[in-house]
Structure 1
């Protein structure tokens, strides 16, 4: 679980680095890492709790768009994580829908690549 948190933090860091509309407040490297870890935790909680509800409610649109609408949902989750991190005064912000959409795409791709190298949780449970 910690490795997945680190992978999400790395994916968020890449999106923050690539897109000018995603900003991280100035500070030391340690402060930036801690902020990204906090945002990754918020993003993980938002994806675990809110995202399934959004997917269920918008299921017809997801089916009609052949899954492309999932990018919009991911962008909304990134925007929601930005809003929550703003409430907690973490210093990480996504500016606007298009930055959230491209950020969600970057986070999805980077997370997919990084998670491909992480051990599978199902295999660990089956071992004694």
Structure 2
């Protein structure tokens, strides 16, 4: 279980780092901020995202799941709110970054999975 949590933390940190490199609208002040943002991002994805998905289920069904991208952007903005040394410049950047984070996470998860 601890191993899975550490792998998930690594995946979150790598995906957030990649978006920092890719977009000028996302910025970390230090490596510690990256790790802190990865931890907060993981906690928000674990506890807040399922609640948001349940509340927005009709809208998510209507958009064939595309509204999940908006929810991921909201989670990213919440991470910005809770981590002082992590910055997202706007909601548009957050949407694009959420898309990149999702893609990088899926790729890394498939590489690192134990199946």
Instruction: Please confirm whether the aligned pair reaches a TM-score higher than 0.5, indicating the same fold.
Output: yes
**Cα distance between partner residues in 2 of 1:66 and 1:57:** 15
Structure 2 length as normaliser, TM-score? 0.92
1:61 aligns with 2:65: no
Measured on the aligned residues, the alpha-carbon RMSD in Å equals 1.1
Q: Secondary structure at the match of 1:23?
A: strand
Q: Secondary structure at the match of 1:66?
A: coil
**Cα distance between partner residues in 2 of 1:46 and 1:74:** 10
1:80 aligns with 2:84: no
Unaligned segments of structure 2, at least 5 residues = none
Unaligned segments of structure 1, at least 5 residues = 26-31, 124-128
Which residue does the alignment assign to 2:91? 97
Which residue does the alignment assign to 1:43? 41
**Cα distance between partner residues in 2 of 1:118 and 1:15:** 20
1:16 aligns with 2:20: yes
Which residue does the alignment assign to 1:108? 102
Tell me the number of residue pairs that the alignment of Structure 1 and Structure 2 aligns: 111
**Cα distance between partner residues in 1 of 2:27 and 2:67:** 25
Structure 1 length as normaliser, TM-score? 0.83
**Cα distance between partner residues in 2 of 1:51 and 1:42:** 12
Q: Secondary structure at the match of 1:93?
A: strand
Which residue does the alignment assign to 1:28? none
